[in-house]
Amino acid sequence: MNYIGGLLGESERKNLSQMADNAVGVIYHRLHHFLTEAPWDAQAVNERRLSVMNQCSLSPDK
């Protein structure tokens, strides 16, 4: 979820260091491990990202 938060964040730079700096409670090395070593499905992450963005755009507060 921290990776998705980094992608959706307001920072212009979407690199690992900037994502870790901008997120609360994120440790650079753990995020790095997730991106480089942990088994994850890029398509599933992208689908989740799109789902979150869609929910945000449907929010009545916006």
Q: Each residue of 17-44: pLDDT tens digit?
A: 887 777 778 888 887 887 788 887 889 9
Burial class from Cβ neighbours inside 10 Å (0-12, 13-18, 19+) for residue 61 reads exposed
User: Alpha-carbon distance 46 to 62, whole Å?
Assistant: 23
Total-model pTM: 0.47
Give the number of domains in the chain.
Answer: 1
| Confidence at residue 43, expressed as pLDDT on a 0 to 100 scale | 92
Cβ of 19: how many Cβ atoms within 10 Å?
21
pLDDT band at 3 (very low <50, low <70, confident <90, very high): low
Average pLDDT over residues 1-23: 70
Share of the chain above pLDDT 90, in %: 6
Can you read off the two tokens belonging to residue 44?
Answer: 């599933």
What range does the domain containing 46 cover?
A: 2-58
- Report whether pLDDT(15) > 60: yes
